[in-house]
Amino acid sequence: MIRVLHVDDNTSDLELARVFLTRLSSEIDLDWARSAAEGLEKLERDKFDCVVVDYLMPGMNGLEMLERIRIDMPDIPFILFTGEGDEEVAARAMVLGADDYVEKELATNHYERLLRRILEVVGENNTQPK
């Protein structure tokens, strides 16, 4: 089972991701947080295999959260999953250590792409020497 923490301030986006990802794969155990602060608290308390984070959130955006995560958890796979970013945000995410950047789209096929990237980055992380 792959434990994923999904952080997004939009409850509808969290619920849609839960429905699609768990329908597409029985390997995914998805937990969520509605803010970066709540997500950081969950990461301190629990073990996750991957973090999926929205970009635009009040208080702390996805890039700021990534910077905080990389201080204490440099190896946890991190995917920025957003509909509000652009090439500059994607490039900045990669420089800060994100494993990938996946854009939300109107169609639901972005959940298939997100699932594929979760499985890939978690697999890569598990095969690398620590």
Q: What's the confidence (pLDDT) of residue 98?
A: 97
Which DSSP string corresponds to 20-82? HHHHH-TTEEEEEESSHHHHHHHHHHS--SEEEE-S--SSS-HHHHHHHHHHH-TTS-EEEEE
Q: What's the confidence (pLDDT) of residue 109?
A: 86
CATH number, domain of 19, equals 3.40.50.2300
What is the tally of structural domains in the chain?
1
Going by the DSSP 8-state scheme, the letter that residue 108 receives in this structure is T
Q: What's the confidence (pLDDT) of residue 16?
A: 93
Please state the pTM of the whole predicted model.
Answer: 0.94
Q: What's the confidence (pLDDT) of residue 108?
A: 76
What is the domain extent for residue 21? 2-127
Residues in the chain predicted with pLDDT less than 50, given as ranges, are none
Q: What's the confidence (pLDDT) of residue 128?
A: 65
**Amino acid at the residue 107:** A
